[in-house]
Amino acid sequence: MWPEEDWPDWERPRWGRMLPAIRSPRMDVYEDNGNIVAEAELPGIDPKNIEVEVKDNVLRVEAKTEEKKEEKKKDYYRQEMSRGLFKRVTSLPAEVIAEKAKAEFKEGVLKVVIPKAKARKEKKKGVKIKVKGTETA
């Protein structure tokens, strides 16, 4: 989550105050042509705000969203902000080759394709995966 010092004073977390919503996106995980495929719904997210990591056959997806609205009229002024965090961690159903994972974001859906390993390998350091996307929030 965002460091407290990045929040305006009036919005910093305090007892009894609301924190940004942490949502768990819906995710399908299935096998297709020797790959493990995970698809997660992340509506309205800018692809550059998505982090994907595969480590020890566990997939982690995290995405941040922030929206600001401002309306000015003659005798009326309104400003709203909303922040949110999508986070999902799931165990993969088979051994995978994390270094060959690919991720793409299209029309609000993140698709991660990870090749299955043919034989059990030693556990290696986690791998962050760059998300290619065509959308912006």
- Could you read off the pLDDT of 1-45 as tens digits, one per residue? 455 555 455 445 554 455 556 778 899 999 999 999 999 999 888
Would you say the C-alpha torsion 31, 43, 64, 128 has a positive or negative sign? positive
Number of structural domains (the chain) is 1
Q: How far apart are CA 106 and CA 94, in angstroms?
A: 25
User: CA–CA distance from 2 to each of 10, 45, 89, 134 (Å)?
Assistant: 15, 17, 19, 25
Contact 98, 126 (CB under 8 A): yes
Domain extent at residue 128:
4-133
Amino acid 22: pLDDT: 75
Which is more confidently placed, 10 or 97? 97
Q: How are strands ordered across the β-sheet holding 109-115? A: 27-32, 35-41, 109-115, 102-106, 131-133
The enclosing domain of 19 has a CATH number of 2.60.40.790
pLDDT in tens, 36-83: 999 999 988 889 999 999 999 999 999 988 778 888 888 878 888 777
Chain mean position to CA 80: 23
Full-model pTM? 0.67
Amino acid 13: pLDDT: 52
Amino acid 19: pLDDT: 57
